[in-house]
Amino acid sequence: MRILVVGGAGYIGSHVTKSLLEAGYQPVVVDNLQTGKAENLLPGVPFVHADLRIPETLQGALGGCEGLVHLAALKAAGNSMTEPEKYANHNISGTIQLLNAATESGVNYVIFSSTAAVYGNPQYIPMDEEHPTKPSNFYGYTKLAIEELLGWYAQLKGVRFASLRYFNAAGYDVDGRIKGLESEPNNLLPIVMEAVINKRPFVEVFGTDYDTPDGSCIRDYIHVNDLADGHVRALEYLTRETDNPILNLGTSNGMSVLEILEHSKNLSRTNFDVRFGPKRPGDPAVVLAKASKAKSLLGWEAKRSDPKTLINSMLNVYGATHKITRKR
C-alpha cells in the first residue's frame, strides 16, 4: 500500500517513514523542509517538495496513495499564543487543504499526529482518552480542531482515521539510520544534548518546588521508535476494523526533569551546567498517559522508552557529529 507521509522529513515523520518501509508499505514523503531535514530522507523513498497549504503541489504525490500520515504542523506552544493566526493558517487551514486534496485523490485512511496538549492541565493522572479536552494553548486547540474536522470528514466523506495523541517524544532511531538534529529545540532532552556537546552553555530547570518527589516536573517520555510503531499499527487497525479510534501513545511511567538530567550526566559522562529558575506559568506538575486503549486495540506498547535506551540513542546521534568532552 502506498502511503503519503506529510512532514516525513521531520523528526517524528522520518521515523514513521522508516517504520512504514520496514513493515512493507510504500511511503512517499512530502515536506517543505522548513523544519524537516534533507538528511532524514531515506534512500529509495520518493520525496516531493511541497506545501500542504498549496494543494496543487500535492497532486502528483497523492497519486495512487491509499493512506495518509499527517504530521506537518507548527508546534511551539508558547509561540502559538503570540501568533495564533500563523498557527490557524498552517495547522487548521493547511489540514483542510490537505484533506480536500486527499479525498479527491481517493485516500481512504488517515493517521493524524495529535498531542496530549488537547487535554490541557490534568484533572486526574494518568490521563485517559476520556479526560476532558480543554487546551491551555492555541497549539493544542489547533490539534483538537483537526480531530473534530476528521470526525466530520469521516461522516461526510467516508474517510477512516486514527488520531494519535502523543506524550513527550524523545530519543533517536536505535538503528542509527536517522540523524538529522532538530534546529532550535524546545523540548528537554534535545536541549540537554546540546549542553552535552557544548552547543548550549547550560540547561535551565523551571521550578523545583512542584508537588513531586524531587520538586521538578514529571513527564511521560516515549521513544520515537515506539511512537513510529504506533502509526504502523494504527494503519493496520484501520484496514481491518470499522471505527475511527482516538488513542494515547505514552508509557504511563514518568521521569522528572532532575532525573533526566542525572541520567544524561551519568550516561554521557559529562557535567554540564544546570541553572534553576522560577516555574513557567501553566506548567503542570505531572503529565502521564494511560495508554491501555492502544494496547487493547492495536496490541501496541512502548518497548524502548526506558531512560538508558532513550538517552543513549540520542547520544549516538549527537556524538557522531560533535565532540563530547567526558569527565575523567
Q: How far apart are CA 103 and CA 109, in angstroms?
A: 10
The catalytic position among 25, 87, 109, 139 is: 139
Nearest to 113 by CA among 262, 22, 10: 10
Eight-class DSSP state of 306: S
Whole-angstrom distance, CA of residue 256 vs CA of residue 169? 15
Give residue 91's identity as a one-letter amino acid code.
Answer: N
What span, in angstroms and rounded, lies between the C-alpha atoms of 172 and 174? 6
DSSP letter assigned to residue 93:
I
Q: Where are the alpha helices (DSSP H) in 209-289?
A: 224-240, 257-268
Chain Cα centroid distance, residue 274? 26
Give me the count of residues in the chain: 328
CA-to-CA separations, 141 to 94, 134, 164, in angstroms, rounded: 15, 8, 15
AA letter at 307 = P
Q: Is there a contact between 284 and 121 (Cβ–Cβ < 8 Å)?
A: yes
Q: Considering just the CA atoms, what is the radius of gyration of the chain in Å?
A: 19
Which amino acid is present at 212? T
Catalytic (active site) residue 172: no
DSSP string, 140-166: HHHHHHHHHHHHHHHHHH--EEEEEEE
How crowded is residue 279: how many other Cβ atoms within 10 Å of its Cβ? 13
Phi first, then psi: give them for residue 124, nearest 5 degrees.
-160, 160
Catalytically active residues are: 139
